[in-house]
């Protein structure tokens, strides 16, 4: 999968469901001043699960496809969690541009 920064998480009950980044809010990165380099892929993968859960499967599939293109196929930019990689914002824009072209 690529590590904890790329996996989404879901807690689904009978009445409520919660979707989040498997790594939480990356508090260590914030403490170290690297918050803008946090990998948004985990939250976006959780969003795929949320969309599927609420019956928006076409949207979930489209977002998942955009993520796969950005993370595994094209890989135009890379998240490293440090200054030698792109920022969370840059990666988010890359995913959105890819999503809009699908």
The 10s digit of each residue's pLDDT in 42-61 is 899 999 999 999 999 999 99
- The better pLDDT of the pair 30, 6 is held by 30
The Cα 45–Cα 9 span in angstroms is 8
| pLDDT digits 0-9 by tens, 8-21 | 889 999 999 999 88
Please state the rounded mean pLDDT for residues 13-35. 87
- Number of other residues whose CB lies within 10 A of the CB of residue 13: 7
Q: Are 87 and 37 in contact (CB under 8 A)?
A: yes
pLDDT(2) > 80: no
Read off the tokens for 13: 């009950």
């Amino acid at each position: 999968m690529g590590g904890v920064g790329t996996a989404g998480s879901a807690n689904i009950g009978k009445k409520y469901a919660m979707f989040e980044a498997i790594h939480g809010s990356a508090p260590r990165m914030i403490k170290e001043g690297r918050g803008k380099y946090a990998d948004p892929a985990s939250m976006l993968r959780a969003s795929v699960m949320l969309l599927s859960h609420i019956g928006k499967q076409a949207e979930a599939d489209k977002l998942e496809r955009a993520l796969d293109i950005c993370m595994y196929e094209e890989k135009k930019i890379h998240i490293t969690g440090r200054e030698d990689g792109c920022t969370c914002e840059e990666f988010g824009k890359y995913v959105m541009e890819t999503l809009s072209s699908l």
